[in-house]
C-alpha cells in the first residue's frame, strides 16, 4: 500500500521529511511561524533597530584604522545594491566592494555587477580563481557532495574576510540573514557573521584541505589560496565584525528590487529561468536556479518552485493553491543549463545522472519499474525519471 513519506506545511509548500523544520500542532512549519513573528514588528521597532545599527557602525568607525569604512561583499544582485545603497547613499560612508567571481555569471549579472562602481562611485575588488581550478572543483564537489557550486559558497564566505584582514577594515556589511527563516535564530539574537556560520551553512562542513589529494582532480594548496579562512590572530588583530543588514532593516525583496530598478537601472534576467518563475534572483550564478537546485530536488524532493512560492505565501504575494501550482510546474524540471555545465566541465549526461542518483534520500524516493517515485504535495505520487544505479545500489530504495 502507498503511504505518505512526505509531509508538508499546512500554510506554505515546504516538506518536513527533508527540510530541517519543526512542525507545530496546527501543522505549520517553523519558517511560517518566524515570518508571522516578523510581520508583527512595528515601524517603531524598525526605527529602533535602525538606531542600533547606526550606533554599531559609529562605534566601528571610531576604532577603524583603514581609510575604508567597511567592506560590502557584493555579487551585483538586488540585495548587493540595497546594502550599498544604505551605506553609501543613506549614510555617506566609504565602502570597499568585494566580489567573488566564480565564472558562472549570466549576462545581466555581469552588467549589474560592473555597474556598481558607476552608480555608487565606489572602489570594487573582483577576485576570480583560475578557471581550470574552478572546473576541477565543479566536478570534484559534484561527485563528493552533489554540489558543483561549493566553490562559490566558499569564495563568497571567505574572500571578503580575507580582504578585511588584508586592508585592516574592521566592518563587513552583509545582507539578508538567509537562515533566520528556518526558525534557527530570532530577530533578538542579532546573529553576526562567524567562522561557524561560514563553515556549517556556507561550506557544508568541508574546507579547502578536503579538496586535496583527489586522484581524478589533482589540486594543490596554492590552487586554493582564496579559500583559506584567516587565522584567529589575524581576525582579532583586525577586530573585524560582520553585521547583517537584515537584522536592522525590514527586508522586502519585491520592494527592494523595484527600488533598485528605479534608482539605479538594476536589471533582472531577460530570459525566464526553467526552474522558477522569479527573474530577479541568482544572476551571479547560472546554476543556482538551475542544476544546482535540480540536485536539491534529486536529493530532497523539493526545489526553487517550493522555496520561492513558500516565501511568497509568507509575504502574502501568493495563495497556497497558487504556490502548489508553482511546485507542480517547476520543481522537477531538468533545466538546460545542465548541457551548458556538462560542456563546461566535459562530463557525459550518463555520469551526471549516475552520480546524482547516489544522493537521493531514501525517505523521499523509491523505485518502481526502473523509475524514481515520490509523493507530491497535491496528494498523489508520480514517476520522475529513469534510475541509473546498479541493482545492488537500488536495494536502499525498495519499498516495504
Ligand atoms: Zn510553512
pLDDT at residue 94, as a whole number: 97
Could you tell me which of 165, 242, 185, 145 has the C-alpha nearest to residue 31? Answer: 185
Distance 218 CA to ligand 1 centre (A): 43
Give residue 325 CA to ligand 1 midpoint distance, Å.
Answer: 16
117-169 pLDDT, tens digit per residue, is 999 999 999 999 999 999 999 999 999 999 999 999 999 999 999 999 999 99
State in Å: Cα 329 to ligand 1 middle: 19
Å from CA of 30 to ligand 1 middle: 7
- How high is the pLDDT of residue 121? 95
11: CA distance to ligand 1 center in Å? 5
CA of 219 to the centre of ligand 1 (A): 42
Query: How far does residue 93's CA lie from ligand 1's centre (Å)?
Result: 39
pLDDT at 24: 87
Query: Which residues in the chain land under pLDDT 50?
Result: 1-3, 181
State the pLDDT at residue 19: 64
Q: Can you list the domains of the chain with their CATH numbers?
A: 30-39+269-397 (no CATH), 43-253 (3.40.50.620)
Burial class (CB in 10 A: 0-12, 13-18, 19+), 49: middle
Amino acid at each position: 500500500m502507498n503511504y505518505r513519506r512526505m509531509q508538508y506545511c499546512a500554510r506554505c509548500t515546504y516538506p518536513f521529511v527533508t527540510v530541517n523544520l519543526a512542525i507545530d500542532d496546527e501543522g505549520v512549519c517553523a519558517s511560517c511561524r518566524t515570518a508571522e513573528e516578523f510581520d508583527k514588528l512595528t515601524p517603531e521597532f524598525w526605527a529602533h533597530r535602525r538606531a542600533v545599527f547606526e550606533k554599531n557602525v559609529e562605534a566601528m568607525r571610531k576604532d577603524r584604522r583603514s581609510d575604508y569604512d567597511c567592506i560590502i561583499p557584493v555579487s551585483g544582485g538586488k540585495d548587493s545594491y540595497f546594502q550599498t545603497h544604505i551605506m553609501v547613499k543613506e549614510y555617506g560612508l566609504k565602502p570597499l566592494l568585494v566580489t567573488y567571481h566564480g565564472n558562472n555569471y549570466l549576462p545581466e549579472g555581469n552588467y549589474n555587477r560592473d555597474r556598481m562602481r558607476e552608480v555608487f562611485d565606489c572602489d570594487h575588488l573582483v577576485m576570480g580563481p583560475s578557471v581550470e581550478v574552478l572546473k576541477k572543483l565543479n566536478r570534484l564537489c559534484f561527485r563528493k557532495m552533489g554540489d558543483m557550486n561549493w566553490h562559490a559558497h566558499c569564495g563568497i564566505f571567505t574572500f571578503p574576510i580575507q580582504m578585511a584582514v588584508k586592508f585592516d577594515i574592521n566592518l563587513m556589511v552583509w545582507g539578508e540573514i538567509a537562515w533566520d527563516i528556518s526558525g534557527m535564530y530570532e530577530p533578538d539574537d542579532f546573529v553576526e557573521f562567524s567562522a561557524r556560520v561560514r563553515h556549517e551553512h556556507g561550506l557544508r562542513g568541508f574546507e579547502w584541505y578536503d579538496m586535496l589529494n583527489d586522484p581524478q582532480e589533482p589540486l594543490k594548496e596554492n590552487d586554493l589560496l582564496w579559500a583559506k579562512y584567516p587565522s584567529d590572530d589575524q581576525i582579532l588583530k583586525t577586530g573585524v565584525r560582520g553585521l547583517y543588514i537584515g537584522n536592522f532593516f525590514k527586508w522586502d525583496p519585491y520592494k527592494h528590487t523595484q527600488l533598485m530598478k528605479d534608482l539605479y537601472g538594476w536589471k533582472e534576467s531577460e530570459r525566464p529561468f526553467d526552474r522558477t518563475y522569479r527573474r530577479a534572483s541568482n544572476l551571479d550564478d547560472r546554476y543556482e536556479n538551475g542544476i544546482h537546485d535540480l540536485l536539491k530536488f534529486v536529493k530532497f524532493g523539493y526545489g526553487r518552485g517550493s522555496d520561492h512560492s513558500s516565501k511568497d505565501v509568507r509575504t502574502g504575494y501568493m495563495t497556497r493553491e497558487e504556490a502548489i501550482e508553482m511546485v507542480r510546474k517547476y520543481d522537477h524540471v531538468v533545466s538546460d543549463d545542465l548541457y551548458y555545465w556538462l560542456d563546461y566541465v566535459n562530463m557525459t549526461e550518463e555520469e551526471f545522472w549516475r552520480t546524482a542518483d547516489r544522493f537521493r534520500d531514501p525517505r523521499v524516493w523509491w523505485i518502481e519499474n526502473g523509475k524514481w517515485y515520490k509523493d507530491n504535495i497535491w496528494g498523489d505520487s508520480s514517476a520522475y525519471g529513469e534510475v541509473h544505479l546498479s541493482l545492488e545500489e537500488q536495494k536502499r530504495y525498495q519499498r516495504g
